[in-house]
Amino acid sequence: MGKDGGFLEYGRKNNNDVPPEKRIENFEEFHTFLSAGDRMKQAARCMDCGVPFCQSAMVLSGMVTGCPLHNLIPEWNDELYKGHFQHACARLIKTSNFPEFTGRVCPALCEKACMCGQHGEAVTVHDNELFLIETAFSKGYITPSIPVIRSGKKVAVVGSGPSGLAVSDELNHRGHNVEVFEREEEIGGLLMYGIPNMKLDKEVILRRKKLMESEGVVFHTGTDIGKGRKAETLLKDFDAVVLCCGAKKPREIKGADPKKIKGIYNAVDFLTGTTKALMKAGDKSVGALKKQGGFTDACGKNVVIIGGGDTGNDCIGTVIRHGAKSVTAIEMMPKPPEERRENNPWPEWPKVLKTDYGHEEAAFVFGKDPRVYETTVKQVITDKDNAIHEIVTVKVNFKDGKLKEVKGSEKTLPCELLLIAAGFTGCEEYTANAFKVERNARGTVVTNENSFRVADTKVFSAGDMRRGQSLVVWAITEGRKCAKEVDEFLMGYTNM
C-alpha cells in the first residue's frame, strides 16, 4: 500500500493553519488544504504494514487504539497516492457515512495507532480523509443514492446528531422509510450547536442534510418529542423508533448553579448561543456577530472555564473571538505527559498533552497557555446583583482514590463569566420517561446485553444516549450497528 519506502522519502506534513492573529477575527474554518500533489505524497507514506492497527479499534491498556469505524485506511491511501480519487472515496464511504464530519472533528485514533508512529511520525490519515471527501463533493462524485425498492416499513429516529444521522442514512439506503425528529431549528445536534463554526462550518452539515433529503429521508425540525409531539404517536405510527437524543445533561458543579447565579453558563448552551447568532447574521465575521447580538458576550470579561477537554478548548477559542479580557481553564486532573514515546510507548499513547487551536490562540493573545491543572473551584463570590464577581480556586490531588484539597493553596480570580465544560452525566430525563425506557446509574438508556434494543419493545437507542458521552466517530459507529439490528427486527433478516 502506498509507495515502497514512501514513509522514508517523505516527512509528515499537516494541513496549514491560518495564523492565530488572523483567524481570531472571524469564525471561518482555518485549516487550508495542501495541493493534490502534496496530499498524494502524504498518502504515499502509508505502507503495507501487514497488521494495520489504524483500522483495528483494539482495546489496549483500557483504551481504544485505531478507528472504531474500521475504515479501510491502507486501501484508500493507496488509491489516493495513485491519484485515483474517485476510487479512494468509494473505499472511504464504504465504512464511513460522514467523512466530512470526522475529517474535521475526530481526534484521529487511527493516527495514534499508525505503524509509522512506532519510530517516526504517523501518516496524516485525518487530513487525507478530509481531502478525499471534499474532493468528492467538489468533483461531483457524491450524488444521491436513492433506493430502487422500498420495504414499506417506517422508522422514526428521535435526535439528529451523528448517531441519529447514521441510523437514518443506513436504514434509508436499505429501503426503509425514515423520518427524523429534531427539537432544534436545524439538524446536527452537537455537530451543529456544540462545535464552533471555525472547527466545523455549518454549511457542511446543511450540505449533508440536503443530500439525505434528496435520497428520501424526511426531517422534522422544531419538533420536541416528549414535550410537543407525544411519544405514543410515534409508537403507534412507526414500525420502529430509535432514540438518539445524546447525553446532554450537564455535570453539576457544587456552588456554581447556572439557574441561581448570573454569569454562569453550561458550555454547550454558551456555544449554542454564538452559533445561532452567527447563523442569523449570515456572516462569519466577529463584527457581524456583534451586530446581530442575541448571545452571551464575553467581551471585556474575565472568563474562567471549568474543564480541559475539547468543549473547554472550543470555549477558549470562542471567548477570544468575543474579545474576552482574560481566560483561565481549570482542570482537576494532573497535566498529561508530553508527547514522547518513552513516556507513552506505541501504540498506547493517545493520552498525551494536546495543544489545540484555542490554547494556541490564548497563548498568542495573552502570552501563555490558559490551562491550570489539579485545580477546582472552591467558592463562587457574587456581587449585590447576584452576578458572579470572583471565584476561589484550590489545588487538589487524588489520594487513595479520593479527591483532596491542598491546604493553603486557595487563590482568588476575577471572573464575570464562568463556563462549565465538565462533561455530561447522561440523557435528559423527559425523553426517556416519555418512552418509558429505563436509565442506569450513568444516566444512559438501558438496552439488552450486546444490543441496541430496549427490552422486547420496538424502541432502540444508539449514540451517547446509550453509550454515554463519547466521540463523534463512536456515535456514527453506534448508529451503523443499531441500524443493522433495526433492519433485522423489521425484516427478520439483514443483509446490511
User: What would the pLDDT profile of 85-124 be if each residue is shown by its tens digit?
Assistant: 999 999 999 999 999 999 999 999 999 899 898 888 999 9
The sign of the dihedral angle between the CA atoms of 64, 69, 74, 80 is negative
Q: Evaluate whether 180 touches 215 at the Cβ level (below 8 Å).
A: no
Q: What is the DSSP string of 126-173?
A: HHHHHHHHHHHHHTT-------SS----EEEEE--SHHHHHHHHHHHH
Pick the CATH number of 264-420 from 2.60.40.2470, 3.50.50.60, 3.90.1200.10, 1.10.1740.10: 3.50.50.60
Q: Which residues on adjacent β-strands are paired with residue 376?
A: 394
Query: What's the DSSP call for residue 108?
Result: -
Encoded amino acid at 156, one letter: A
Query: Looking at 374-477, which runs of residues are DSSP E strands?
Result: 375-382, 388-399, 402-405, 411-414, 417-420, 459-461
Which band of pLDDT confidence, cut at 50, 70 and 90, is reported for residue 130?
Answer: very high
User: What does the domain layout of the chain look like in residue ranges?
Assistant: 6-138, 154-249+425-491, 264-420
Q: What is the DSSP string of 234-270?
A: HHHH-SEEEE------BPP-TT--TTTSBTEEEHHHH
**The length of the chain, given as a count of residues:** 496
Q: Evaluate whether 295 touches 274 at the Cβ level (below 8 Å).
A: yes
Pick the CATH number of 154-249+425-491 from 3.50.50.60, 3.40.50.280, 3.40.640.10, 3.40.630.30: 3.50.50.60
The string of pLDDT tens digits covering residues 373-424 is 999 999 999 999 999 999 999 999 987 778 899 999 999 999 999 999 998 8
Which band of pLDDT confidence, cut at 50, 70 and 90, is reported for residue 228?
Answer: confident
Pairing status of strand 177-181 against strand 411-414: unpaired
- Residue 341 pLDDT more than 80? no
Cell of 431: 425523553
Encoded amino acid at 207, one letter: R
Q: What is the pLDDT of residue 80?
A: 97
Only one residue has cell 497488521, namely 51
Only one residue has cell 447556572, namely 258
Q: What is the pLDDT of residue 342?
A: 62
**Would you say the CATH fold of 154-249+425-491 matches that of 6-138?**
no
Number of neighbours of residue 368 by Cβ within 10 angstroms:
9
**Higher confidence at residue 72 or residue 334?**
72
Scanning 45-84, the segments in alpha helix (DSSP H) are 73-81
Dist CA 301 CA 416 (whole Å): 6
Q: What is the pLDDT of residue 229?
A: 80
Q: Which of 45-49, 94-98, 318-322, 464-468 has the lowest mean pLDDT?
A: 45-49
Q: What is the pLDDT of residue 91?
A: 97
Determine what percent of the chain is predicted with pLDDT higher than 90.
Answer: 83
> What does CATH list as the number for 6-138?
1.10.1060.10
Q: At 5, phi and psi to the nearest 5?
A: 75, 10
